[in-house]
Amino acid sequence: MPDRPRFLWLFFSLSGRVNPSAYVLAGLLPLLVQLFLLYQFSRTPLGTAASQYWALAWWIAVIVSTWSTFALTAKRFHDFGKPTYYALISLVVGAILLVILAFFKSDPGPNRYGKRTNAPAER
């Protein structure tokens, strides 16, 4: 599988499974992007065009990272054999659930969401 589709699958698809290490590492990327944009915003004088640009970029990153975190969490729940709607809990509970999921072991072997972890579901 080419890198770009795999990257898009990891952050935006709701199919497949991810193991704890991939979940943690992939979850750090949206956080780092948000922190970088927030840092850039804090460096610019308020009320300037540049500060408005960085603020808009940050809000876009928050929206995109919310979806990507939801997709990652759904795939993490799939690794336990649980359905996608369990990931809705992450929108309510947030960071606590993300840390908890990082420490649970996966279901061994294939389940109904995929034959192996860290891969899209095969149809």
* Mean local confidence (pLDDT), 15-27: 90
Burial degree of 75 (CB within 10 A; 0-12, 13-18, 19+)? buried
pTM: 0.73
Confidence of residue 10 (pLDDT cuts 50, 70, 90): confident
The reported pLDDT for the residue numbered 123 is 65
Tell whether the model's pLDDT for residue 74 goes beyond 80.
yes
The reported pLDDT for the residue numbered 1 is 46
Residue pLDDT, tens place only, 42-68: 999 988 999 999 999 999 999 999 899
Question: Average pLDDT, whole number, for the chain?
Answer: 86
